[in-house]
Amino acid sequence: MEESDVCRKLIKLINKNSIRQINIMKVCGTHTRNIFKYCIDKLIDKKINLIAGPGCPVCVTPTSYIDSAIELSRKSGVIIVTFGDMIRVPGSLGSLSMEKAMGGDVHVIFSPLDSLKIAEQNKDKEVVLLGVGFETTAPSIALTIKYAKERELSNFSVLLSLRTMINVMKKLMTYDDVRIDGFICPGHVAAVIGASSFEKLSLISHTPMSICGFKMREILSGILSIEDMINKGEYRCENLYKSVVCDRGSIGTCRSFYYI
């Protein structure tokens, strides 16, 4: 069956099974982007409300963290290294982009390991890596710290703002004014920590969840799975992305995280 035919069939099933208003939160930013790319929110029944979640680590970075980074960039002998998506994020003091324009020593990198090269080339300055992210970026930041220690780089440090997705989702479910009937779990994070972490959260919170890929048919399958569980009064986490996500996650990276 052609991909387009599969998608049409899934949309038909979703709309047929739509019997009441439900709120489904898609946690991952890539899912949100592709839902708009494929116009999924326009093709499915209006009773299914797709809510954007906290999938972008930059978007949930507190103002106080940005202000701390800006204050450090203003210190003599300090080099700030960061990914490009952080440079224009506003704090109460401005942004790193503004500091760079005014002469601040701010470098944009593509890998945390790039910061070590900058530290080796500038032994007379303190190089501060902005370590922002979820489980997907934490391993590479940890590896960078490990290599910095092995190379005895005394002029390298990290300003951390890392979060664990499970705890963010748990927090969201405690708010009385936020009604979430189901979650489309983050595929990339699930690949690191495994499906079992989301399964435990689903059972404890009595909330249907699905882990799915990022193609149109995969996202539609995830929505249909959650809708079906809601209609039947069931809750679990269905792993529909088994080609990438295993039950235990990426062994060697996920064990360092604390989960329920």
Report in angstroms the alpha-carbon separations of 255 from 101, 135, 142, 252: 41, 11, 13, 6
Least Cα distance to 247 among 190, 204, 205 occurs for 190
Per-residue pLDDT of 16-58, as tens digits, reads: 999 999 999 999 888 999 999 999 999 999 999 999 888 777 7
- pLDDT of 258 higher than 50: no
Please, are residues 103 and 159 in contact by the beta-carbon 8 Å criterion?
no
Q: What is the pLDDT of residue 66?
A: 94
Q: What is the pLDDT of residue 259?
A: 45
**Beta carbons within 10 angstroms of residue 143's beta carbon:** 13
Per-residue pLDDT of 198-211, as tens digits, reads: 999 999 999 999 99
> What residues are paired with 133 via a beta bridge?
162
Q: Compute the Cα dihedral for 58, 46, 205, 260 and give only its sign.
A: negative
Per-residue pLDDT of 68-106, as tens digits, reads: 999 999 999 999 999 988 999 899 989 999 999 999 999
Q: What is the pLDDT of residue 255?
A: 44
Per-residue pLDDT band for 260 (boundaries 50, 70, 90) equals very low
Report in angstroms the alpha-carbon separations of 60 from 65, 134, 169, 214: 10, 11, 13, 22
Please, is 134 exposed, middle or buried when counting C-beta atoms within 10 Å of its C-beta (0-12, 13-18, 19+)?
A: buried
Report in angstroms the alpha-carbon separations of 121 from 153, 174, 253: 11, 48, 30
Q: Where are the alpha helices (DSSP H) in 90-160?
A: 96-101, 114-121, 138-150
**Beta carbons within 10 angstroms of residue 42's beta carbon:** 9
- pLDDT of 136 higher than 70: yes
Q: Compute the Cα dihedral for 18, 14, 189, 70 and give only its sign.
A: negative
Q: What is the pLDDT of residue 57?
A: 72
Residues 6+ apart with CB under 8 A from 217: 3, 6, 7, 10
Looking at beta carbons, which pairs linking 42-48 to residues 24 or more positions away fall under 8 Å?
A: 43/11, 44/11, 44/14, 44/15, 44/18, 44/220, 44/223, 45/14, 45/15, 45/18, 47/18, 47/19, 47/20, 47/21, 47/22, 48/14, 48/18, 48/22, 48/24, 48/223, 48/227
Least Cα distance to 197 among 241, 249, 251, 243 occurs for 249
